Structure 1
Amino acid sequence: MTLTIAATDPGALLERCDVTTVRTLRGGLVYEDRAVAPAGLWTKITDETARDLADTTRTPDSALVELVKPPAPTGALGALVDQLGDPDAVHLGQAHAPADTFITTGNHENGGRRIGLHVDNWDKLPYATKHTGRRRLCLNLGPGTRYLLLGDLDIRAICRTVHEDYAPRYPHTDDLRQFVDDGHLLLCFRLRLEPGEGYIAPTELFPHDGSTEGQPQPSTAAFWLGKWQRGVLPSLV
C-alpha cells in the first residue's frame, strides 16, 4: 500500500509538502544505530505527485492521512476529541520538540536517543490486520511550526520485502531499518503544520516521525489515538 493523503486541492497540498529519500544513521549519543532519517536536500513535490498522493478512491479510512484544522481547545485538552465519534479514543499526552530538531522521537529506554522513522505499536497487531489499527490525531500547540515526516510505503509491504515468512510476523521498525539497509528505495514526505494545525494519520501502518528542522521556535504536540471516519475534522488541503 502506498501513501495516500486526503486532499481536494492538490495545489494546497503541493504548497506544504516536500520530498526526499532516506538514509541510515550510525548511532552515537543523539541517534539510535540504524535509525532511518531523511537524506536531506528537500524538494517541492510536483503537480503529478500531488495528484497521486491525493487519489483516495481505494484507500480505507484506517490507512488514510488527513491534514486537519482541529477546533481550538476550550477546556481540558484531553477532552478535545469527545465529539469526533469514537468514545474510546485515548489521549496519549504531549511531546515537546526543541527548535531545529532533525527528527524528534526519542527512546526513553536508552537515554532519549532519536529513533528516526518508525511505526507505532499501540494496538500490537500482526501482519494480517496491521492495516486496521487506530489512527493518531496530532495537534500542534506551537509556538513554532513542525513537520510530519512520512515514508511512502506501508510497513506490511516492507515486511513482505525483507521476510519470506512474513505472514506470522508483527511488522516492526526493525523491518524498516533492514529494508533501508538492503538498499531498497523509500521516499520521505515532509508535511508542514503551523500552530493550531494537525493531522490524523495511520502511524501504526506508515513509517513516520516529527521534525522541527530549520524552525527557530520549539513545538509541543498533543496526541490522541482512535478510530475516526475520514472527514471528521475540516481539511487543510
Structure 2
Amino acid sequence: MPLHIAYGDPLALRARCEVASVRTTRPEETGYEPGAVVPGGQWRPMTDTDVKTVTAPRRPLDSTLVEIVRPPYRDGLPLEDLTRSLGDPDAVYLGQALAKPDVVTTTDNYTVGRLLGLHIDNWDKLSYADKHTGRRRICLNLGPGARYVILGAIDAQTVCRAIHPDDHTQRYPHTDDFRAYVASGRPIRIIRIRLAPGEGYVAPTEYLLHDGSTEGQDQPSAAAFWLGRWTRGVLPSLV
C-alpha cells in the first residue's frame, strides 16, 4: 500500500506539504553512507493531483496510515507518560534526538559516523508478508525550531517485490532495497511535511521510506519518539 495521509481539509494539507524526487548520493558526499537515498531536485508545492494520490481509501489499515497531529504534551509531563492514555499499554518511549539547523536529513548511523539518508525502520523485524502490520511511530517536535518529516510515496513491500521478483516472499524488506531501487533508475516521489514546535505525526516508519529534516531552518529541533499500535484519530489532527 502506498503513502496514505489522513486529512479533512485538503487546503490545510497542501499548506504544509511539498513534493520532490530522490537521488542516490555521490561518492564525494562522504557524510552519508555509500548509496544512501536523499531528496533530489527542487521541492515544489503540493498539487490537487498530489493530494488525490495520498488520499486514504475509505477503510484504510491503521497500521499503514500517516496522521499529522498535536500530541498531548505540556510542560512538566514526563515524556515517558505521554502515550499512556492513547490505548496501547505496550507502547514504548524511544527517547529524543536533536537535529542541527539546516540539515537535509537527520538520522545518523552512529556505528560508522555517517548519515543514513532516507530509510525504513526495523524495530519489529517483520518479513515481507507482515511488513504492513508493524507498529507506528509518534513523533513530537519539541523545538525550538520547526522541522520536517520526509515520507516516500512507495511502500516497502512494493519495493522488495520489484528488487527481488523471484524470492520476495522469503525476504525481510530493508533500506538496501530502496537504495537498489533508486540506483536502478526507478523514481520515488517524496513528500515533506512541516511541523512546528508542539506538532507531530503518527507514521508507519517500518513501512515507508522516511527521515527528519531541518533544511532551511535556522534553529535546531529536538524530537521525541514513541512506538506503538494506535487507532486512527486517537490524537487531534492538524489537517
Aligned pair 1:57/2:95, yes or no? no
User: Within 5 A, what are the aligned runs for 1:93-172?
Assistant: 93-111=95-113, 113-164=114-165, 165-172=167-174
| Amino acid in the other structure paired with 1:38 | P
Q: For 1:80 and 1:58, how far apart are their aligned partners in 2?
A: 27
| Amino acid in the other structure paired with 1:145 | A
Aligned-pair distance for 1:59?
A: 2.0
Aligned-pair distance for 1:58?
A: 4.1
CA offsets 1:149-168 (integer angstroms, 9 cap, x no match): 00100011000001021001
| Amino acid in the other structure paired with 1:148 | V
Query: What stretches of structure 1 of length at least 5 have no aligned partner?
Result: none
Three-state SS of the structure 1 residue aligned to 2:119 is: coil
Q: For 1:54 and 1:64, how far apart are their aligned partners in 2?
A: 10
CA offsets 1:192-236 (integer angstroms, 9 cap, x no match): 000000000000000000000000000000000000000000001
CA offsets 1:34-59 (integer angstroms, 9 cap, x no match): 11000030000102321331233242
2:196 is matched with: 194
Aligned-pair distance for 1:71?
A: 1.4
Q: For 1:134 and 1:15, how far apart are their aligned partners in 2?
A: 28
Three-state SS of the structure 1 residue aligned to 2:18 is: strand
Q: For 1:58 and 1:127, how far apart are their aligned partners in 2?
A: 22
- Aligned-residue identity in percent: 57
Q: TM-score normalised to the size of structure 1?
A: 0.97
1:211 is matched with: 213
8 Å CA contact 1:99, 1:213 repeated in 2:
yes
Q: For 1:25 and 1:49, how far apart are their aligned partners in 2?
A: 26
1:85 is matched with: 87
Aligned pair 1:182/2:184, yes or no? yes
Q: For 1:51 and 1:126, how far apart are their aligned partners in 2?
A: 30
| Amino acid in the other structure paired with 2:199 | E
Q: TM-score normalised to the size of structure 2?
A: 0.96
2:41 is matched with: 40
Alignment size in residue pairs: 236
